[in-house]
A and B are shown apart, each in its own frame.
Chain A
Amino acid sequence: MENPESSPLKAFGRNVYRSFFRYGRLPQDAEGQSYAVFNNLFLHIHPVKVSRHSLRFSYTLGLGVIATALFLVLTFTGIWLMFYYFPSATEAYGRMLDLRSAVDFGFVLRNVHKWGAELMVLVVILHMARVFFTGAYKPPREFNWLIGILLLLLTLGLSFTGYLLPWDQLAFWAITVGTSIAGYAPVLGQPMRRFLLGGDVVGQEALVRFYVLHVVILPGLLSIFLAVHFWRIRKDGGLSHPDDNDPPAKGGAR
């Protein structure tokens, strides 16, 4: 009789399991817990140790995390919407109506994408306000504040480009007015407007340009700068906390 412990299948299963959970499923000691966190791709953005202040919910209100979660939700619902949406001046509006009425759960995806987008703009602005009021824009975090401003602009850009895609009256006139406002900028205004619209009026060209910006270029840029944003949080010593504002010890650098 073969020993069940040494069967090749069992060994294979154990190997697979060990390659996923190298430090046991729930390590109990501090060292094991640290290893488990920084050897996991999805957890390693966390520092091994955080300040007690960072954990107080009322300090951050979780706004950065909420904004990131919304971005993920918008990415996935957006990819799902792309299966039915078509950026064509004759098709787009009908496809949007079909998503609302005919496609199973289409209205859920569309509404989650739409309301999530509105919420993301709001949350990103609130996050910026939180960072301002807690003084987290001050050195050494001033570079990350600039990255944050870039992320705000990209969020607004995504919001603006996405607004045209339903191709209804609201979308058409909003973008007509919005790009006309851009056209008032000195010197660069009119060329910028033509670049955005691909012509002189909002039409098929504008729809394709806004679509490419909305589904590829702006989310791509936002992902890159989001990574830089997280990386800077770690490099700048985690979230801002009250000890930051204490005067540095005599003769010692902070």
Chain B
Amino acid sequence: MKKKNVRMQQPQMDRRTFLTALGFGGVGLSAVIAAVGNLLYLKPAVDYGPPSVIRAGRPEEYKEGVKEMLEEQRVVVVRDKKGFAAISVTCTHLGCTVRTSDAGFECPCHGSQYDNDGYVTGGPAPRPLDWYQVSVAPNGELEIDKSVKVAPGTYFKA
């Protein structure tokens, strides 16, 4: 049988270069994976903050035209002819607590001003105050869910 003349093709990359690339690639890849793992570890997974659903007492306790400030929960409960609303008192500028004023709300930190519906009337605030969803819990108390925002002017009829 005639021997076939097999010529080795010249490799694209020699062994040393390949192994070096493999080594550095492996180290680099594990560094990236470790970095991602560490970032994920630091990402807050459990929310230890205040609960987002709050109870605000029975609807009858609020007279018409009242603006009741719940300071701990940083929300103001409004009752007027149209029903109930829960407006956030966290300033949309940099997170200070706004106080009620004659015209609506104003922020003591940088002077943002809002009207009674939380629309910006002055100062650096970029958007209106948040309105939260209001409902009635099974036990008849008003329930405010701070994780659900509704359009300004959305009232809940009890």
In the complex, chain B residues whose CB is within 8 Å of the CB of A195: 42-44
Give per-residue flags for B45-70: 1 if the beta carbon is below 8 A from chain A beta carbons, else 0.
Answer: 00111100000000000000000000
What is the number of contacts between chain A and chain B, taking CB atoms within 8 Å?
37
Complex alpha-carbon distance, A201 and B47, angstroms? 10
Residue of B nearest to A205 (CB): B48
Selecting from A76-84, A174-182, A222-230, A241-249, the interface stretch reads: A174-182
* A194 CB-CB contact with B under 8 Å: yes
* B109 CB-CB contact with A under 8 Å: yes
* A203 CB-CB contact with B under 8 Å: yes
Give per-residue flags for B91-115: 1 if the beta carbon is below 8 A from chain A beta carbons, else 0.
Answer: 0011110000000000001000000
Instruction: Identify the interface centre among B42, B44, B95: most chain A CB within 10 Å of its CB.
Output: B95
Given contacts A198-B48, A199-B49, A203-B49, contact A176 B96 (CB under 8 A): yes
In the complex, are the beta carbons of B48 and A176 less than 8 A apart?
Answer: no
Complex alpha-carbon distance, A148 and B79, angstroms? 57
Given contacts A173-B109, A195-B43, A205-B44, contact A200 B96 (CB under 8 A): no
Residue of A nearest to B49 (CB): A199
In the complex, chain A residues whose CB is within 8 Å of the CB of B42: 195
* A60 CB-CB contact with B under 8 Å: no
Instruction: Identify the interface centre among B44, B50, B93, B96: most chain A CB within 10 Å of its CB.
Output: B44
Given contacts A176-B95, A176-B96, A195-B42, contact A204 B109 (CB under 8 A): no
In the complex, chain A residues whose CB is within 8 Å of the CB of B93: 180
Complex alpha-carbon distance, A180 and B49, angstroms? 17
Give per-residue flags for A184-201: 1 if the beta carbon is below 8 A from chain B beta carbons, else 0.
Answer: 000000000011011111
Shortest Cβ distance from residue A248 to the other chain B in the assembled complex, whole angstroms: 39
Contact of B48 (CB < 8 Å), options: A181, A194, A203 = A203
Given contacts A177-B109, A205-B49, contact A199 B44 (CB under 8 A): yes
Shortest Cβ distance from residue B48 to the other chain A in the assembled complex, whole angstroms: 5
Complex alpha-carbon distance, A189 and B15, angstroms? 46
In the complex, are the beta carbons of B49 and A200 less than 8 A apart?
Answer: yes
Complex alpha-carbon distance, A137 and B8, angstroms? 57
- Give the residues from 108 to 156 in chain B that come closer than 8 angstroms, CB to CB, to chain A: 109
Give per-residue flags for A148-183: 1 if the beta carbon is below 8 A from chain B beta carbons, else 0.
Answer: 000000000000000000000000010011011100
In the complex, chain B residues whose CB is within 8 Å of the CB of A199: 44, 47-49
Complex alpha-carbon distance, A131 and B93, angstroms? 37
In the complex, are the beta carbons of A177 and B94 less than 8 A apart?
Answer: yes
In the complex, chain A residues whose CB is within 8 Å of the CB of B47: 199-200
In the complex, chain A residues whose CB is within 8 Å of the CB of B95: 176-177, 179-180
Complex alpha-carbon distance, A201 and B75, angstroms? 14
In the complex, are the beta carbons of A173 and B96 less than 8 A apart?
Answer: yes
In the complex, are the beta carbons of B49 and A181 less than 8 A apart?
Answer: no
In the complex, are the beta carbons of B50 and A194 less than 8 A apart?
Answer: no
Given A177-B94, A198-B48, 8 other A-B residues pairs in contact with their CB atoms under 8 A: A176-B94, A176-B95, A181-B94, A195-B43, A199-B44, A199-B49, A203-B48, A205-B48
Residues of B near any A CB (own CB < 8 A): 42-44, 47-50, 93-96, 109
A–B complex contacts, Cβ < 8 Å, 15 sampled: A173-B96, A176-B94, A177-B96, A177-B109, A179-B95, A180-B94, A180-B95, A195-B43, A197-B44, A199-B44, A201-B49, A201-B50, A203-B48, A203-B49, A205-B49
Residues of A near any B CB (own CB < 8 A): 173, 176-177, 179-181, 194-195, 197-201, 203-205
